[in-house]
Amino acid sequence: MRFGVLGTGMVGQTLAGKLVSLGHEVKMGARQAGNEKAQAWVASAGPSASAGSFAEAARFAEIVINATAGAWSLEALTAAGAENLAGKILIDVANPIAPNSGMPPQLSFCNSDSLAERIQRTFPASRVVKTLNTVNAAVMVNPALVPGRHHMFLCGDDATAKSEVAALLVSFGWPPESLIDLGGISNARGTEMYLALWLRLWGVLGSSPFNIRVVSNDF
Amino acid sequence: MRFGVLGTGMVGQTLAGKLVSLGHEVKMGARQAGNEKAQAWVASAGPSASAGSFAEAARFAEIVINATAGAWSLEALTAAGAENLAGKILIDVANPIAPNSGMPPQLSFCNSDSLAERIQRTFPASRVVKTLNTVNAAVMVNPALVPGRHHMFLCGDDATAKSEVAALLVSFGWPPESLIDLGGISNARGTEMYLALWLRLWGVLGSSPFNIRVVSNDF
């Protein structure tokens, strides 16, 4: 498959690297074609890796991943171009962290809205799936870093898109039974607001990879 | 110990009943002395149970529990009286759910503030500890309803108060190693915002009692 990974930070590089290792073709998108971090990644990642502008990465891709900083994601996706995103699965892994909001940081918006909903509203022809935003980059692509059973959430309005994303997560190492479908895209409010607890657990646990397991008699 | 449980709903009745069963004296507080639900509870709970106004319950108590609906908690605590709450541990188990905010409901405020912080700011002479707001009433007092290992968070600015509340949680059945101290009272933002995810998990799991376990190599 051809993936466009928008974002050159830790999350973008980690996801792009994993996709290449799984045999996919990946174009990393940045604000400007020729971005240094993207070029360095291409040099290290081999012939299936390439880089370009947000628009070039989105145009290239069959599946687009938003791994930009949440505060700038709508701007980045607008630069990518609605016409280059139309009809495609758009995996949103970002959290709308408010810049300069202290430590632990706050969200730019939440509760009555979410980044994933804003993206779906702004790009109604795209098939937005929210997932992976509840763990750090290393765990996203290597869930076995966290021992035993733990869960990954996904939500979105397009059931077929969610199935394809679930299969992608399984290819990353997430066991099928670890995936919890929360329903439509508005449920991203739940996983984005969980960031407030995640940040505090991170404060307690330090650098140790962690995640949560939902525990019940049925689950 | 003498407890004042503010609130006559499911959470208040469950906590008050557990406290009586553990040998404590409990006065349930309501907006009006003579509240029917409080009177019915007293009739069923035996000689260690009594009821009164919010102020009477707070005055009676060595430890006060806020189990009122979060939207009205500050009003209820104001009626209880700062002088009756001063110097006392005030356990806040409420979530600031916005009335008439749809399903799943939204919070009245979050992200840059929390109910527990508002309570601590409004009653600076009280020793506020936030806990138990991440599980339903049945699990609060019977954590074994959820199988295996799972966690309960607490936070507050007074370390001694947190220790006493931790001991109370252990008496409810929470294993000491299940308790995670998140730090100062502002960390209640994390556990209150988790409600957004809890509500959606509740939607997936239905009536089955559930909780989360934090999973890492260290924890």
pLDDT tens, A98-135? 999 999 999 999 999 999 999 999 999 999 999 999 99
Q: Specify the amino acid at residue A108.
A: S
- Quick one: which of A95, A173, A163 has its CA closest to A129? A163
Distance of CA A201 to the CA centre of its chain: 20
As a dihedral over the C-alpha atoms of residue A51, residue A56, residue A62, residue A63, rounded to 10 degrees, the angle is 70
Helix, strand or coil for residue A148?
coil
Radius of gyration of chain A from its Cα atoms, rounded to whole angstroms: 16
- Is the pLDDT reported for residue A208 higher than 90? no
Contact B146 A216 (CB under 8 A): yes
Full-model pTM: 0.97
3-state class (DSSP) for residue A193 = helix
Secondary-structure breakdown of chain A: helix, strand, coil percentages, each rounded to the nearest 5: 45, 20, 35
Chain B residues with beta carbon closer than 8 angstroms to that of A146:
215-217
Chain B residues in contact with A110 by the CB 8 A cut-off are 110-111, 193, 196
pLDDT of residue A140 exceeding 80, the answer is yes
Predicted local confidence at residue A66, as pLDDT: 98
Of A112, A196, A214, the CB nearest to B210: A214
- What's the gap in Å between the CA of A105 and the closest CA on chain B? 9
- Mutation for B interface: A155, A180, A205, A213, most B CBs within 10 A: A213
Which residues lie closer than 8 Å to A87 by C-beta, 6 or more apart?
A125, A126, A127
Closest Cβ–Cβ partner in B106, B194, B211 for A215: B211
Name the packing angle between helices A36-45 and A10-21 (round to 10°): 20
DSSP E strand boundaries for A47-166? 49-53, 63-66, 89-92, 127-131, 152-156
Judge whether residue A26 has pLDDT over 90: yes
The tens-digit pLDDT sequence of chain B (219 residues) is: 999 999 999 999 999 999 999 999 999 999 999 999 999 999 999 999 999 999 999 999 999 999 999 999 999 999 999 999 999 999 999 999 999 999 999 999 999 999 999 999 999 999 999 999 999 999 999 999 999 999 999 999 999 999 999 999 999 999 999 999 999 999 999 999 999 999 999 999 988 899 999 999 876
Residue A219 predicted with pLDDT over 70: no
A15: nearest Cα among A141, A130, A136: A141
Closest residue in A to B199 (Cα–Cα): A190
Contact B213 A212 (CB under 8 A): yes
Task: Give me the pLDDT at residue B219, please.
Answer: 67
Distances (CA, A) of B59 to B36, B51, B90: 21, 12, 12
Q: What is the structure's pLDDT at A24? A: 98
Query: Is B108 in contact with B121 (CB distance < 8 Å)?
Result: no
Residue A60's closest CA among A45, A35, A81? A81
> What string of DSSP letters covers chain B?
-EEEEE--SHHHHHHHHHHHHTT-EEEEEESSTT-HHHHHHHHHH-TTEEEEEHHHHHHH-SEEEE-S-GGGHHHHHHHH-HHHHTTSEEEE----BPTT--SSPPBSS-SS--HHHHHHHH-TTSEEEEESTTS-HHHHH-GGGS-S---EEEEES-HHHHHHHHHHHHHHT--GGGEEEEESGGGHHHHHHTHHHHHHHHHHHTTS-EEEEEEETT-
Q: Are B183 and A192 in contact (CB under 8 A)?
A: no
Q: By percentage, how much of chain A surpasses pLDDT 70?
A: 100
Q: Which residues of A touch B204 (CB under 8 A)?
A: 180-183
Residue A204 above 90 pLDDT? yes
pLDDT of residue A214: 97
Q: Partners of A29 in the beta sheet?
A: A6, A52
The residue written with tokens 């145009």 in the block is: A59
Contacts A153 to B, Cβ<8 Å: 197
Other CB atoms within 10 Å distance of the CB of residue B103:
6
Closest CB to A214: pick one of B111, B153, B201: B201
Can you state the angle between helices B115-122 and B73-80, rounded to 10 degrees? 20
Q: How confident is the model at residue A207, as a pLDDT?
A: 81
Q: Which residues of A touch B (CB under 8 A)?
A: 106-107, 110-112, 146-150, 153, 180-183, 187, 189-191, 193-194, 196-201, 203-205, 208-219
Chain B residues touching A198 at Cβ < 8 A: 190
